Chains A and B, each alone.
Chain A
Amino acid sequence: MAATGERVLEVRDLVKHFPLTQGIVFKRQIGQIKAVDGVSFDLHRGETLGVVGESGCGKSTLAKVLMALERPTSGSVKINGVDMAAAKGGALKRMRRNVQMVMQDPYTSLNPRMTVGDIIGEPYEIHPDVAPRGDRRRKVQELLEVVGLNPDHINRYPHQFSGGQRQRIGIARGLALQPEIIICDEPVSALDVSIQAQVINLLERLQNEFNLAYIFIAHDLSVVRHISDRVAVMYLGKLVELGKDTEIYDKPAHPYTQALLSAVPVPDPEGREQRERIILQGDPPSPANPPSGCRFRTRCWKAQEICAKEEPLLEIRAGTAHESACHFAESQDIVHA
């Protein structure tokens, strides 16, 4: 699963602001929610990039912009070298085929009035040139088989399946157009523990089989570690740390990453009395009015004057091998301590 493939996705200085308005008849803009505020990264063929962060940090907005469901305020999203943010009409439609999504909640993301065959086959209605009409049913059955469902169940409705099976239907729909990139937005967080493992294994198998690139958004850091080759940590619309999974998990350099990792409960009661926890105080600030300089400084124990004045850039810093956005970045093993 190493990141050896060529670059399929290139995101540069991506910004998405939502306007905050006041007034009913005469709407005035009184501010903006800076949901994604200058994010850059690459994604290679066959690679998984995990994106972690607290709720409200902009993970899902990032996914929507990458799916071209939202237009970016500025910045570029290049798929195989072509800028999607600038594409329109037919060209945009063709690009969208290459990026598909698996949603979080398998209970609300499948239309209850459509059969499984119609749900998985719907992408072919939108992109009819992918599969000729007569061929579609067979293709859908193949997809059902690929995700480990019984192809004979093609005429069943979503309510006849369990949560894990529904998530498999969502994955099959994502695969229908043979995309190169699949964005998984919390794909297992609504599932039971014993079912989570099945779906994670399925995603890994499909990646190997079809050489897919995943963007795996989740708040469960253990799941992200398991599946990711590289990990991006987001805080208030910005990436604060980006590196290989071993770098992020074994040598986190940004205080936020360290706090995040330290908060994860380890499923092993041995030595729990000795375990040191970094407990962050308070909640993340509002993305409508982020702190000056470093956005994490209001909750950071390392914060100094410079943090309020100067925004730390995401770059490789002294003593670390991967990019982090902290003036006082320092590698520290948290999870094994």
Chain B
Amino acid sequence: MKSAKTTATDVLPAEGGLGNDALLEVDDLHVEFVTRAGLVKAVNGVSYSLRPGESLAVLGESGSGKSVTAQAIMGILDMPPARIPQGSIKFRGTDLLKLSEDARAQIRGQRIAMIFQDALSALNPVFSVGWQISEMFRVHRGMSKRDAMKKAVELMERVRIPAARQRVNDYPHQFSGGMRQRIMIAMSIALDPEVLIADEPTTALDVTVQAQIMELLAELQRESNMGLILITHDLGVVADVADKIAVMYAGRIVENAPVRDIYKNPGHPYTKGLLESIPRVDQKGQELYAIKGLPPNLLDMPSGCAFHPRCPYRQDNCVTDVPPLNEINLDRNSACHYWREVLDGSHG
């Protein structure tokens, strides 16, 4: 690799250098994929913002566009087939989409980092974990191999991998699933990023290990005041760690709200359906409420509100008019024509 000696601070103002309190602002983002079967609109106008130290949960089922949005923020979408026809992603006031690839490479990994769901396939099987963690320091900081390895051991200790010094030369397959996820976390926090995106970080793990990993993430966040974007489909994990939630359906945000509001009183029929359809460990219910039907095919989206074929509140205008993201109150929105009825709990 050629010496890329421009540091991230040359490209962007340093931390806190701007009066803007939002760390990351996604505005009206659209992402589409050109496929043989046609144009797949994976993300259709997503907006959210993140402040330092804040945890935002992006909740949605497969195909809702939650991961694609994250990949667009990281700049790791394959373009083509993907393209971003519209929207902006502002990181400390600078639109990432307008930056050159070199400039983005300076931000990626250093200032915005990401953890993936499947640590086994995200790690390279033929290099030791120490080598992979220390790569961050060699590439971005130009450290010597020896110094970088020392930093790798420190990081492994920080994410509480037992006997880090002995295990630094081990390979990914020699670690358990939870330990591998810790190694991923070590790599992602190596350069003290300001934003950490965790894409289903615990989905592949057992509940006991999930609790360990979530606790570790929360602690790291407290220490460094990172902004955390947690992408998940698990309503339980969200309730545990998030400050605010954005619920996605068919490439749009259908509701965003502070975490307590949404669980107490959902403002969109989809959120409401999801909350009613999960079995709970602390109570035994009768038959589960099930949202009828299937998530939409992104190649052939329903007209109007994408949720209307499955919605108990549907009226005629839902089939024809796309609902705007209505403001319920200052920090709460719902993309439903009938959010008042949903909040009241009366069935339409």
Contact = CB atoms under 8 A, between A and B. Distances in A.
Interface string A218-247: 010111011100000000000000000110
Contact of A265 (B176, B236, B264): B236
Interface string A39-82: 00000000000000011000000000000000000000000000
Interface of B: 61-62, 162, 176-179, 206-212, 214-215, 233-240, 242, 259-260, 263-264, 273-275, 277-282, 284-285, 287-292, 294-295
A335 B283 CA distance: 9
B281 A335 contact: yes
B86 to A, nearest CB: 28
A318 interface: no
B237 A265 contact: yes
Contacts of A221: 207, 281
Contacts of A222: 236, 278-281
Contacts of A131: none
B259 A269 contact: yes
A141 to B, nearest CB: 22
Contact of B284 (A201, A245, A269): A245
B234 A280 contact: no
Interface in A183-235: 192-198, 200-201, 204, 219, 221-223, 225-227
Given A263-B211, A264-B207, A193 B61 contact: yes
Contact of B209 (A204, A226, A283): A283
Given A197-B290, A277-B215, A283 B178 contact: yes
A185 to B, nearest CB: 16
Contacts of A262: 211
A267 B263 contact: yes
A214 B64 CA distance: 33
A225 B278 contact: no
A266 interface: yes
Contacts of A249: 281-282, 284
Most buried by B among A55, A221, A261, A264: A264
A162 B208 contact: no
Nearest to A259: B208
Nearest to B258: A269
A269 B239 contact: yes
Contact of B290 (A201, A219, A227, A279): A201
Given A201-B288, A226-B284, A264-B207, A272 B278 contact: no
A260 B78 CA distance: 40
A336 interface: yes
A198 B277 CA distance: 9
B294 A164 contact: yes
B129 to A, nearest CB: 16
A270 B263 contact: yes
Nearest to B210: A263
Most buried by B among A194, A195, A201, A222: A194
B260 A269 contact: yes
B147 to A, nearest CB: 30
A305 interface: no
Contacts of B235: 193, 267
A197 B176 CA distance: 31
Given A194-B291, A279-B215, A283-B179, A272 B240 contact: yes
Given A225-B284, A268-B239, A277-B215, A194 B208 contact: no
A279 B83 CA distance: 43
Nearest to A194: B291
A222 B282 CA distance: 8
Contacts of A282: 162
Contacts of B260: 269-270
Contact of A197 (B211, B259, B289): B289
Most buried by B among A221, A226, A245, A272: A226
B279 A226 contact: yes
Contact of B279 (A162, A194, A223): A223
Interface of A: 54-55, 162, 164-165, 192-198, 200-201, 204, 219, 221-223, 225-227, 245-246, 249, 259-270, 272, 277, 279-283, 335-336
Nearest to A190: B62
Nearest to A199: B290
A170 B166 CA distance: 46
A54 B179 CA distance: 15
B282 A200 contact: no
A260 B291 contact: no
A162 B236 contact: no
Given A246-B284, A280-B212, 10 more contacts: A54-B207, A54-B209, A197-B288, A222-B280, A225-B281, A263-B210, A264-B236, A265-B210, A269-B240, A279-B211
Nearest to B176: A283
A219 B176 contact: no
Contacts of B240: 265-266, 269, 272
A226 B263 contact: no
B157 to A, nearest CB: 15
Nearest to B242: A269
Contacts of A226: 279-280, 284-285, 288
A279 to B, nearest CB: 5
B263 A269 contact: yes
A193 B284 contact: no
Given A194-B291, A219-B207, A225 B62 contact: no
10 tightest A-B contacts by CB? A265-B236, A226-B279, A197-B277, A263-B211, A197-B290, A192-B61, A335-B282, A194-B291, A54-B206, A197-B288
A264 B235 CA distance: 11
A45 to B, nearest CB: 21
Nearest to A272: B240
Contacts of A223: 279
A267 B240 CA distance: 7
B290 A268 contact: no
Contacts of B275: 267
A191 B236 CA distance: 16
Contacts of B289: 197
Contacts of A198: 290-292
Given A194-B291, A198-B290, A265-B237, A279 B263 contact: no
B180 to A, nearest CB: 11
